[in-house]
Structure 1
Amino acid sequence: MNIVVCVKQVMLHDMADESKETGGTSREASQLVNNANDYYAVEEALKLKDRYGGTVTCLSMGPEKCQEQLREIAALGVDRIVLLSGRDFAGADTLATSYTLAAGIRKISDFQLVLTGEQSLDGETGQVGPSLAEQLGLVHVANVSEICSVHANKEMVVKRELEDREITIKLPLPALLCIRKHINQPRIPSVVGLMKAKTAKIPVWGPDDLGIEPGRVGLGGSPTRVVGVYHPAGKERTANGEIIRYADDQQCAAHILSKIGACDDKRTGVFT
């Protein structure tokens, strides 16, 4: 089974710099780390490879400086890493991002499964995975909490986590899965993996390599955009709560209501 895992590098929130070109944050100028949620998707891919054979290719879109973080993923034992990079890709929203990633996956071509994390820790939209599936014409399942089995690279069974229950789904391959965090325990890279990652070749594909339509990538291909980035004014938020334990539920409820009433409109003195 050949698997493609989409990974992203996100900015540390306290070190994010604003882009003068797009108004949003600039990954080119900011300190980056691998999106934590993507490690669970990488681990699932490696577990499937251990069980069924095949290859694991990680695909990312970002500035060329992302190669430093991608080597950390290479150390985990993936077979190949590809970086999509170019000035034309800057400022992409979820739609333009999914279009670009889809072009990269089509160039890879030989795959049965695409995995993504449930969401990135910067945008937190959870839109790229489902949008990518639509771009590729693949069936997809979000909130996957377990990959149960794969049958002859033709179909698989997974569990999907809902708010109040878990359901089992059988779906044909190729497919795309959005992996829930904590589905597994991501592995720690070995010493051998770390040594290999230092010299791993990470090909960089630009717009010309992907044969894309220029108007559908980057800021120009994004119907939504970040118009500004700011930090809340004033003092930092501090915890100002209290923990009170009551053996009797009614006493606890009465105390909470008294606290809420104290914050109510003092002009009326009435809590509603």
Structure 2
Amino acid sequence: MWGNFFQYGNKVPDFDVLVLNEREARAAAGILFLVGLLSLLNALMIGNIIVTKYYLAFFTFDFLIRVVNPKYSPSMLLGRLFIQNQKPEYVGALQKRFAWSIGFFLSLPMFYYLVLNWEPSMIKILVCVFCLVLLFLEAAFSFCLGCWIYNIIMPEKSKNCPGGSCGLTFKDRVQQFNFTQKIIVTITIILLSYGLYAYLYHTENRTNFGEAVAYKFMSKEDLAKEKEMQYQRDLEEFEEEEF
């Protein structure tokens, strides 16, 4: 029993290494990304931090279990619930363990500074955003940054990667971009980037951190106007107190 418990991955015929179901991992990443994004926006926009604290505690606990044995990870099991009728896509277990170890170590400072001791700062929040980006990349594109790093630093390269990307040397015609498609992709990226900028810049902030983020996006002219407006407000308050 204990031997099977500490076995990392599954033995599957025709695979010479222990493997995990990539579809299950992607589903779990999608669930964590969605809940994490909602909790982050909840904290930034309306100042409700309790959801973020619970999420970060769950995230840390979940990744700890993944490093030990992903068979008992709550998010992985929840992901399996949704994709159990889909054909498995097997990937090597060792590179996934390496990637999840990175996620776990990233979660430790977040757990300490944002759960045990609520001390938010730009750097700490950016670490959270970075983790959400990694979750999104895995869920949407099956890109595992930790697995990519594993293939760079480990002498024995991975043999089983999502979509067969480890051994991909030639792209089919449907994977390539013609000139018109390149223009469309470029314009789409520009519009999405501007939309994100406009959202962060124009959204009313109700927390100190939200105001700090908006402050970073201000131009020199806007900063000068903001300082002048703040000066006028302070002057009005001072005059009211005098009278």
Q: TM-score, normalised by structure 2?
A: 0.21
Report which of the two has the higher share of strand: 1
